[in-house]
Amino acid sequence: MLDYPKALVCVFLLMVLQISVTPQLYPFGGGPDLIAILVVALALWRGLEMAAVTGFLGGLLLDAVLYRHLGMTSLAYLACAWLVATFSGRGEAGAGMLEPAPPRPLPWVIAGALLVQVGLVAVQLLLGESYDAGFLVWHQIVPSLLQTTLLALILLPLLRRLFRPTRARPDVSAAPAH
């Protein structure tokens, strides 16, 4: 029941960290995407709905604070939440439902962060902004992926404590007959 408030607090704190701290550490762009870590973690441990709401709000906050087009980053996080939840087999699952155990989150974080970066570039290209592809890849996407991966190693255990993954019920139909 408290998952939504916790997610909202998390998304706000991570957004603040993302805009205030990481630019000091990585002044040349390509900083870590903390919101993407949260969205992927929620998509794996709490399902699509909470991940989508969190991603939408996180993207909205980031766009507002960074004076970008509102909704742009939200779309990228929504796509990330949907794809991770769907392809990890957690798309329509929920607490207490018969579902497989959540997969290891780190590969999904990397895939999700890559998806967000590519999605942002795609939306910006659709809006008519042009970039040097080489610069974008080597100075934005690759550094961001590496830093996100490193920070995910720290952040995921903390998030796991807050959003403990739902345990899968034993599949009774597969139990041996006595």
- Asked if residue 56 lies in contact with residue 4, where contact means CB atoms within 8 angstroms, the answer is no
Report the chain's terminal Cα–Cα distance, integer Å: 39
Segment interacting with other proteins, rule: CB under 8 A, options 78-86, 111-119, 137-145, 167-175:
78-86
Show the binding pattern over residues 87-106: x = contacts other proteins (CB under 8 A), - = does not. Answer: -----x-x--x---------
Rounded least distance, CB 69 to other proteins, Å: 4
Classify 81 in phi/psi space as left (phi over 0), alpha (psi -120 to 50) or beta. alpha
**Segment 41-60, which members bind other proteins (CB under 8 A)?**
47-49, 52-53, 56, 59-60
Buried b (16+ CB within 10 A) or exposed e, 20-59: eebeeeeeeebbbbbbbbbbbbbbbbbbbebbbbbbbbbb
Please identify, using beta-carbon distances, which residue of 99 and 106 lies nearer to other proteins: 99
Segment interacting with other proteins, rule: CB under 8 A, options 28-36, 38-46, 67-75, 103-111:
67-75
Alpha carbon distances (Å) from 127 to 11, 49, 72, 109? 26, 28, 10, 27
- Asked whether position 169 contacts other proteins by CB under 8 A, the answer is no
Total number of residues binding other proteins (CB under 8 A)?
37
Contacts to other proteins by CB under 8 A: 12-13, 15-17, 19-21, 24-25, 47-49, 52-53, 56, 59-61, 63-65, 67, 69-72, 74-75, 78, 81-82, 92, 94, 97, 123, 127
